[in-house]
Amino acid sequence: MQKLEFFDETFDPDRTATYELSIQVSLGGFSLCIKDLTRNLFIGLASCAFNHPTVSPNDWPEQVAFITNTYKWVSKSFKRVIFSYESKGFALIPENLFVPNKAKTLLSLTAQIQDLDEVRYNSSTNDSVSIFSIPSLLVTSWFKVQSDSKIVAFCDSIIQLHLLSIKNEKDRSITLSLANDFGVVIASHGKKIQHCGTLDIKSIDDITYHLLNLCKGLGYSPSNTVISILGQYDKKAGLEVLIERFFKNISPNSTIVQSDFSYLIEKYKIRYANLFSQSLCV
């Protein structure tokens, strides 16, 4: 994980009560961004690796302490805090089929749940529910820092961004959000989501094949499908060149257009789209 740290000159650690904090934690480190809600402006972005990778659930208290020691103002009061864990352990279920006491059973059909994970769920804006697992000790440790945090699934922000980016109800659309070693894939016809899943990042050929196979399964024509590629991947430029051979409608949409960005972090909108878009999950 590359270390980044950009804070606008207007960022004031003594004004956190007017800010929104979004944070994403992975086994290897964390990323966070700060939004000034008064000005609807993102004014901070940081990403940092832990001193050592997380190898056991018992490591989470130490990792959370590392976050608060790196940025002591993280423990201060914020207007709102949105927290997520980078994981493939999620599923999207139609709201009319969702039964709360069956959440763990439903998730176990599509994802592996670790012994010390807890299962959570959130309602979405498209009549669906996202179910996800997250290390219980991570949640407990983080709540000691920010007890009023909203915990969201790693897919939630991309779902919201995907739905907002749709301009025509007749369009078939795919959003691919790349993480460290996997990608989140959302596909929809208009605003009706028809696929929400993940793919392992092995090569640009594998990713392209997966997207083409998804189109075939859903009955989409690649030449008429709008596709957006977000996130960070060291071969992203080559991936885009390859995908353009099959998909003719590449969307320039990068992140939430309802918000502004400080000049310091403007160029990171696409790379950290998942993180910035957590602001939509409130």
How does pLDDT run along the chain (282 residues), one tens digit per residue?
A: 779 999 999 999 999 999 999 999 999 999 999 999 999 999 999 999 999 999 999 999 999 999 999 999 999 999 999 999 999 999 999 999 999 999 999 999 988 899 899 999 999 778 899 999 999 999 999 999 999 999 999 999 999 999 988 888 888 999 999 988 899 999 999 999 999 999 999 899 999 999 999 999 999 999 899 999 998 888 888 888 899 999 878 775 555 566 799 999 999 988 899 999 999 997
The predicted structure's pLDDT at residue 121: 96
The predicted structure's pLDDT at residue 255: 55
The predicted structure's pLDDT at residue 253: 54
Termini Cα distance of the chain: 27
Q: Strand runs (DSSP E) across the chain, as ranges?
A: 4-7, 19-25, 29-36, 41-49, 80-85, 90-94, 117-123, 128-135, 150-152, 172-178, 182-189, 192-200, 225-231, 249-250, 260-261
The predicted structure's pLDDT at residue 106: 93
